[in-house]
Amino acid sequence: MSEEMNIAAWECFRPDEYFRDYYSQGVAPDEQAAIQFQIAFLRRSGKRFSRAVEYGCGPTQMRALAASAYVDSLDMADRLDTNLAHVRRWAAGEPQADDWSRFTEYVLCCEGVAAPSPEDVWLKEQRTRGVIAEVLLTNAKNRHPLGPERAGTYDLLISGFCLDCLSQSKAIWQRCMQNVFGLLEPGGSFVLLALRGCKRYRVGDQWFPGANLQLGDWTAELLSCHADAAHLEVAEHELPSHVGQGYDGILLACGSTTV
């Protein structure tokens, strides 16, 4: 049976399984690298971002936690309302929400807190809840993923392991990248992450698509999306322990767009 025939429909995506497989046991090596990379860029930028968006948040909170010290307002967008329901529960502090405290501790360590206390964790999570503004349904295949009124309105875009995981088609990935970059104002900043060499990735007993990106694809498309070459940082991180999940590395990028 072909890999294409093994790919599950997005309606079959189960957020609880995703959390269990990737986040319930602690901060895995891919997320350690991703969180370090995001925080290093945001700290290095030396500024606060007034209006940020995390595009393709899934049911997760780690990128919001890693952004909350540097943004005034953060919108969170995803294709599936089942994912957004998890975000809303955590943002509201509901008892049945997923526990992200180990990620909160890791974020604090990356920010220089040597041994985060329970109070440190609580304050960081409260700060993150305070900056989460809107939780939005979206589709990256649309020319204006969040509607034409939001085009060019954000000064920071964060997107992790999302746009490369919508299809096995590189052409669709490229179109989605162009559409989502349209959310940034001229000169806006971005932090993006993708799975490297991934044709499909596993959640539970199902497989979902990957665009099979390599570093050359990554760099070329970022430049096509008007990333400023003078300030573009791209990297890849080896992850041999993740082969069973469908990938052996991740791609990272940060920078700003041209004015």
Per-residue pLDDT for 3 more than 70?
no
The rounded percent of the chain whose pLDDT value lies above 90 is 96
Instruction: Characterize 232-242 residue by residue with b for buried, 16 or more Cβ atoms within 10 angstroms of its Cβ, and e for exposed.
Output: bebebbebeeb
Rounded CA gap, 74 and 68, in Å? Answer: 8
Q: What is the mean pLDDT of residues 23-32?
A: 95
Q: Is the pLDDT of residue 139 over 50?
A: yes
Q: Cα dihedral angle (44, 50, 55, 59), rounded to 10 degrees? A: 90
Over residues 206-210, the mean pLDDT reads 96
Domain 3-256 fold is Rossmann fold (3.40.50)
Residue 183 has pLDDT above 70, yes or no: yes
pLDDT level of residue 2 (50, 70, 90 thresholds): very low
Quick check: helix, strand or coil at residue 65?
A: helix
Q: What are the tokens at 98?
A: 């997923």
Percent of all residues in the chain with a pLDDT value above 70, rounded to a whole number: 98
For 86-114, the pLDDT digits (tens) are 999 999 999 999 999 999 999 999 999 99
Domain ranges of the chain: 3-256
- Average of pLDDT values for 174-193? 98
Give the β-pairing of 154-160 and 74-78.
unpaired
pLDDT band (50, 70, 90) for residue 10: confident
pLDDT per residue as tens digits for the range 225-253:
999 999 999 999 999 999 999 999 999 99
**b/e per residue 15-37 (b: at least 16 CB within 10 A):** beebbebbbeeebbebbebbbbb
3-class secondary structure for 87-126? HHHHHCCCCCCCCCHHHHHHHHHHCCCCCCCHHHHHHHHH
Residue 149's pLDDT is what? Answer: 97
Beta bridge partners of 249: 238
Strand bridging mode 184-195 / 154-160: parallel
Give this prediction's pTM: 0.96
Q: Is 158 helix (H, G, I), strand (E, B) or coil?
A: strand
pLDDT band at 11 (very low <50, low <70, confident <90, very high): confident
Would you state the pLDDT for residue 30? 95
From residue 123, how far is each of 29, 108, 218 by CA, in Å? 25, 11, 36
Mean predicted confidence (pLDDT) in 207-211: 97
The pLDDT of residue 4 is above 70: no
